[in-house]
Amino acid sequence: MVTRLSVNINKIALIRNSRKGNYPDLIKLAQDCERFGADGITVHPRPDQRHIRFSDIPALKQVIKTEFNIEGYPSKHFIDLVCTNKPDQVTLVPDAPNVLTSDQGWDVKNNKSLLEESIAEFKKRGIRVSLFLDPDTEMVELTRDVGADRIELYTGPYSWNYAADRNSQIKLHIDAATKCIELGLGINAGHDLNLQNLGFYKVQLPRLDEVSIGHALITDAIYFGLENAILMYKKCLK
């Protein structure tokens, strides 16, 4: 099956925000990513707006023609932002407001009410919901129970241990993906995936619907150019 590549453009917004003005132009870059072959655009607006700004969301919604995915913690402000702009997918992450980047999956059991209520709001508006999870089959089962459509497997530990211990790491992801298929859930993945570890990950999983990649892809674009980088990542997914 074809695995879709969603490009996370947070790092581009971070560069833009380091100077006054609108350079690089985030909206144009999102359109260029699509033109170069990206299957979707991902953004993760955080409360301090250190990269994606809240005002970027409606502007992106107007121009994105592929899949628009908004990540974030389901605070009231985030829920209102998503429901107003109606992306194709919302990915819920358990980030505290001050974290640098997402570093763990949901404890679905202890956040059941929060997740059920948030997911219900999104589903009312026809927005697909994905939960950011560690590769844990128990959490996968609970994800179905709270009403999510997909999970996004947190691939940080897999990526960091790829050279030394990829086989034991990938087994956890295979087990979680197999459970998703059994329960009828879609399977996304993301965090520190790169040109070295993405191909193996794709081949090993029984199904992989979508990956969201930002930091590594934008870094590679510095060396290879944005269009080349997107094509290189898509090649890993074939």
Q: Is 71 a catalytic site residue?
A: yes
Task: Find all residues with CB under 8 Å of 94, minimum gap 6, and list them.
Answer: 73, 102, 104, 105, 106, 107, 111, 132
- Catalytic residue among 71, 152, 173, 210, which? 71
- Catalytic residue among 34, 51, 191, 210, which? 191
Helix ranges (H only) for the chain are 10-17, 26-35, 56-63, 76-85, 112-124, 137-146, 156-160, 162-183, 198-204, 215-224, 226-236
CA nearest neighbour of 171 among 158, 180, 183: 158
Q: Is 210 a catalytic site residue?
A: no
Task: Find all residues with CB under 8 Å of 164, minimum gap 6, and list them.
Answer: none
Phi and psi, residue 128, nearest 5°: -65, 140
Q: Is 191 a catalytic site residue?
A: yes
- Catalytic residue among 44, 51, 152, 210, which? 44
Q: Which residues are catalytic?
A: 44, 71, 191
